[in-house]
Structure 1
Amino acid sequence: MKRTFLNIVYNAVYQIFLVLVPLITVPYLSRVLGPKTYGIYSSVNNTMQFLMVFCTLSVSYIGMRTISRTWVYGTPQDLTDAFWGLWYFQGIAGLVTIIIVLAITNLFHIQYWNYIILMAPYLISAQVDISWFFQGLADFGRVVLKNTAVKLVSVVLILLWVKSPGDLWKYLLIMSVSTMLGSFVFWFDIHKYVGKPVAHFYKYRTTIRSIITLLIPQIATQIYTSLDKPILGIFQNSTQVAYYDNSQRISNMILGVITSISLVIMPKMASEGKKTQQVVLKKSLEATVMLGTLFSVIIMANTKQFVPFFFGQKYTPMTPLMFFFTLTIIMIPTGGVFANQFALANHRDKDYALPVIIGAILEVVLSFLLDRPYGAAGAMVAILITEFIVLLLRLWIVRDGYDFKYSFKDIPKYFLIAIVTLVIGLLMPNLINSAFINMAVKSIIMFAIYLALMFIMKLDFNQDLIALVKKFLKRG
């Protein structure tokens, strides 16, 4: 558990760093590019995120759990066979995808084709990304350090080179090339863990079956997390796309921090027995719900001041969108506990796949019904309904694998604490002229209220928090 905790800390620190980077770049870019140009970036970027799925073929999920088990139970040669044999699928799929995308964009000159070409390094980054190998080894420190260095360089280049809406091409090139370089750096250390390339795929039939099973839900997930922006762009102008995309941005930053728990826990769950899994799942669920509800209510209480302060006055119309989008901070990680940590770790790939497939179909239908008449607000309603249904399905479909009463015993209390904290936060007056200081003070007070209510409610997770604090104090 000690190494698991350290990995959670490593990954959380990196995810917090990923949050801090946009806190520098997003306010700058939203003002420099403006809503219209930023909307173009959102459409192109999310299209590329969708295409990247076909470069990776779900190898990241399969690889993480395979490497985790092989590292514990296999030999060095088994590890070599698993790594190279799995990456071959990814490498070939990436090459085919890149050729098809470049051919179509050059032949047909589809909308924003020139920007899509500038983003082609994103596809290369997906093709050569082997971070799943180090995540399977639970070597998160290596992942954190290398990606942090690359991200810092990209921030400096953005601030130096992107000065107006006409510099959109520079921004796209900086982001795509830096992401590609971030993927290449992992190859420098791979020889320390595996031998020379092997001449065969890894368990060809079994892996193909797993790829197909997991690729379908990955495509489905991307339909309602990435393609929702281009779909909105079909019915509305790029300004509406910018409002919609940016209203999710802060929630997505926080999601990265919370879902890092699932990323670290999954390899552990894959190598543990059922009894240990039950305990780990309960603790992970409580930590996820606590963090999700805490961050959600703090953001909700500050949204009205935060939007003009962070994005600029031009983005004020997106304030209600951002307020309600924070609900995803609760729904997505909670579902992830049962999908990523439990279903994937236990090779229940079909149980992982079905909820997101249903979610994708539902989201597309709702988008076509709501995007044209209601714009960004309609797209928001579509995604919230979809995420809620997916959450319920994820809980239901693996209900035979966990004890509902045991795992959810304290969960209703977290929601009660969150509601009380939110009401207090919304009623607090803005007594300080500085928006930043006012939001900071309000957030600290709400954080203190939330923790106080947790101990008043006498939650089981309180003992874990106390033990965690004692460990830090002891080390200090």
Structure 2
Amino acid sequence: MKRTLLNIFYNAIYQIFLVLVPLVTVPYLSRNLGPSTYGIYSSVNNTIQFLMVFCSLSVSYIGMRTVSRIRAKSTKKELGKAFWGLWYFQALASLVMIIATTLVVYFAKIQYWNYILLMIPFMISAQLDIAWFFQGLQEFGKVVLRNTTVKLLSVGLIFMLVKEPTDLWKYMLIMSVSTLLGSLVFWVNIKDYVGKPTLHFYKLKESIIAIITLLIPQIATQVYTSLDKPILGWYQNSTQVSFYDNSQRISNMILGVITSITLVMMPKMAAEGKEAQKVILKKSLEVTVMLGCIFAVVVMINTKQFVPFFFGNKYIPMTNLMFWFTLTIIIIPLGGVFANQFALANQRDKEYALPVVIGAICELVLTFFLDRNYGATGALIAILIVELIVCILRVWIVRDDYSFTYIFKDIPKYGLIALICLIVGLFIPNLIPSVFFNMAVKSVLIMILYALLMILFKLDLNKDIAFMIKKMLKRA
């Protein structure tokens, strides 16, 4: 358990770092590039993110699960067979997609074709990305250190080279090449872990079935997490796309921190028995919902001041979008506990796939009616409905493997606490002239209120928090 907590700490620190980086770069970029130019980047980037699904083929999920199961009882030779045999699927699929994308984009000259070509290194990075191997070994420290170094390099280049809207191509090239470098560094000492390459596909038939089963939900997920921006761009201008994409940006940063728990706990869950899994599931769900609620409330009470302060006055029209999109900070991680952590760990791949496939179908139908008539607001309504449907299905579809009353015993209390804090927070006046310090003070006050209400409601998680604090104090 000590190693698991350490991995959660490493991953949480990295995710917080990923939050802090955009807090520095996004205000700079949103002002220098402007809403319209930023909208072009959003459309191109999310198109590439969709294509990258066909490069990785869900090998990251299968690989992490496979490595975590064989690391304790198998030899280096067996680990090597699993690694190379799984990576070949990823390498071959990526090669086909990179060549096909380059040829189609270049000869068909589709919209923003020149920018898409600048993002090809993103697809190469997906081919070389083997972070799943180290995550399966639960060596999250290596993943964090190497990615952090590359991220800092990209931030420095952004401030040096991106000065105006015409520098969009520089920004795209920096982002794509830095991501490629982040994937390359994992190969430096890979032979120390797996030895020389072995020419075979790992458990060919079984792996192909798993890849196809998990690829379907990956494609479906991208329909409403990446393709929603290009789809909105078909019906509206790039400014609407920029408002919609940026309204999600802060929430997505926070989601990265919260879902890092799921990323760490999945290999842990895969290695445990059924009874231990139930306890882990309950604690993980409570931590996830607790963090989701408090972060959501803090963002919502500060949105009106935060948007012009962070993005600039040109982005004020997206204030309501950002306020309501914050609800996903609670909805997405809650469903993710049952999908990414529980269903995948127990090889219930079909149960993992079905909710997101249904969600993708709903997204396509809803966007057709809402995006055309209501623009970014319509896209927001569509994504909230879809995420809620997916969350409910994820919880319901694996209900035979856990006790609902046991797992969800305290969850309604977190919802009530969050609602109380939100109402109080919205009525706190702006007492300090400085926008930044005003938001900071309000956030601290609401966090204190949240903690007091947790004590008042006598939540089970309080004991675990008290135990961890005592251990930390003893070590100090």
Q: TM-score under structure 2 normalisation?
A: 1.00
Deviation at 1:293, TM superposition (A): 0.5
Equivalent residue, structure 1, for 2:237: 237
Aligned-partner Cα distance in 1 for 2:150–2:463: 38
Q: Report what 2:408 is aligned to.
A: 408
Q: Distance in 1 between matches of 2:376 and 2:189?
A: 44
Q: Does 1:91 align with 2:91?
A: yes
Distance apart, 1:319 and its partner CA: 0.2
Which residue is 1:301 aligned to?
Answer: 301
The aligned amino acid for 2:206 is: T
Alignment correspondent of 1:186:
186
Q: Deviation string for 1:387-410 (max 9, x for gaps)?
A: 000000001100001110110000
Letter in 1 for 2:171: Y
CA distance in 1, matches of 2:375, 2:470: 50
- Partners of 2:188 and 2:475 in 1: how far apart? 33
User: What does residue 207 of structure 2 align with?
Assistant: 207
Partner in structure 2 of residue 116 of structure 1: 116
Q: 1:101 maps to what in 2?
A: 101
Please list the CA deviations of residues 263-310 of structure 1 after superposition, one character each: whole Å capped at 9, or x if unmatched. Answer: 000000001000000000000000000000000011000000000000
Structure 1, unaligned runs of 5 or more? none
Q: What is the CA-CA distance between 1:45 and the residue it aligns to?
A: 0.4
Partners of 1:273 and 1:72 in 2: CA distance:
15
Q: Which amino acid aligns with 1:218?
A: Q
Runs (4+) of structure 1 moved beyond 2 Å?
Answer: none
1:264 corresponding residue in structure 2: 264
Q: State the 1:192 CA deviation.
A: 1.6
Shift of 1:471: 2.0
Q: Which residue of 2 aligns with 1:441?
A: 441
Q: Which residue of 2 aligns with 1:370?
A: 370
SS at match of 1:197: coil
Query: What does residue 55 of structure 1 align with?
Result: 55
2:38 is matched with which residue?
38
Distance 1:466 1:20 in 2: 28
Give the corresponding residue for 1:453. 453
Moved more, 73-82 or 103-112: 73-82
CA distance, structure 2, for counterparts of residue 467 and residue 243 of structure 1 = 43
SS of 1:193's equivalent in the other structure is: helix
SS in 1 for 2:332: helix
Deviation of the 1:473 alpha carbon: 1.5
Counterpart Cα distance in 1 of 2:122 and 2:170: 14
Aligned partner of 2:474 in structure 1 is 474
Structure 2 match to 1:282:
282
The one-letter amino acid paired with 2:77 is: Q
Superposed displacement of residue 152, structure 1: 0.2
Which residue number corresponds to residue 361 of structure 1?
361
Describe the superposition over 1:345-374 as per-residue Cα deviations: whole angstroms up to 9, x where unpaired. Answer: 000000000000000000011001100110
Give the C-alpha shift of residue 475 in structure 1: 2.0
Structure 1 residue identity aligned to 2:19:
V
Shift in Å, 1:199: 1.5
Query: Where does residue 195 of structure 2 map in the other structure?
Result: 195
Could you tell me which amino acid in structure 2 is paired with residue 38 of structure 1?
A: Y
The CA deviation at 1:185 is: 0.2
Q: After the TM superposition, which of the residue ranges 185-194 and 450-459 deviates more from structure 2?
A: 185-194
Identity %: 70
Q: Whole-Å Cα distance in 2 between the matches of residues 83 and 335 of structure 1?
A: 29
Give a deviation string over 1:224-277, Cα, whole Å, max 9, x none.
000000000000000000000000000000000000000000000001000000
Alignment partner of 1:72: what SS?
coil
Tell me what 2:342 maps to: 342
Q: Secondary structure at the match of 2:432?
A: coil
Q: CA deviation at 1:385?
A: 0.0
Match of 2:311 in 1: 311
How far does residue 467 in structure 1 lie from its aligned partner after superposition?
A: 1.3
| Separation in structure 1 between the aligned mates of residue 47 and residue 353 of structure 2, nearest angstrom | 22
Specify the code of the residue in structure 2 equivalent to 1:317.
Answer: P
The equivalent residue for 1:129 is 129
- Once residues 131 and 329 of structure 1 are traced to their aligned partners in structure 2, the CA distance between those partners, rounded to angstroms, is 25
Backbone CA RMSD of aligned residues: 0.5
Ranges in structure 2 where 5+ consecutive residues have no aligned partner: none
**1:109-131 Cα distance to aligned partner (Å, 9 max, x none):** 00000000000000000000000
Distance in 2 (alpha carbons) for counterparts of 1:289 and 1:74? 36
Give 1:474 shift.
1.9
Report the Cα distance in structure 2 between the residues aligned to 1:470 and 1:366, rounded to whole angstroms.
50
Residue type of the alignment partner of 1:178: S
Deviations 1:410-436 (A, max 9, x none): 000000000000001000000111100
1:292 and 1:97 map into 2 onto residues whose CA distance is 36
Paired AA for residue 367 in structure 2? S
Alpha-carbon separation, structure 1, partners of 2:163 and 2:473: 46
- Quote the offset at 1:72 in angstroms: 1.7
Q: Give 1:22 shift.
A: 0.2
Query: Aligned partners of 2:475, 2:359: CA distance in 1, in Å?
Result: 45
1:243 partner amino acid? F
Give, in whole Å, the separation in 1 of the partners of 2:386 and 2:471.
40
Task: Supply the distance in 1 between the matched residues of 2:439 and 2:189 (Cα, whole angstroms).
Answer: 43
Displacement of 1:5 after TM fit? 0.5
**Residues 159-186 of structure 1, C-alpha deviations (whole Å, 9 max, x = no match):** 0100000000000000000000000000
Hey, what's the Cα distance between the residues in 2 that align with 1:73 and 1:423? Answer: 53
1:469 CA displacement: 1.2
Distance in 1 (CA, whole Å) between partners of 2:187 and 2:475 is: 34
How far apart, CA to CA, are the structure 2 residues paired with 1:369 and 1:470? 54
Mapped partners of 2:99, 2:221: distance in 1: 24
Letter of the 1:151 counterpart = K
Deviation at 1:472, TM superposition (A): 1.8
State the partner residue of 1:75. 75
User: Given the two structures, how large is their TM-score scaled by the length of structure 1?
Assistant: 1.00
Alpha-carbon separation, structure 2, partners of 1:271 and 1:66: 10
Is 2:417 the partner of 1:417?
yes
Aligned residue in 2 for 1:4:
4
1:138-177 residue CA offsets vs partner (Å, 9 max, x unmatched): 0000000000000000000000100000000000000000
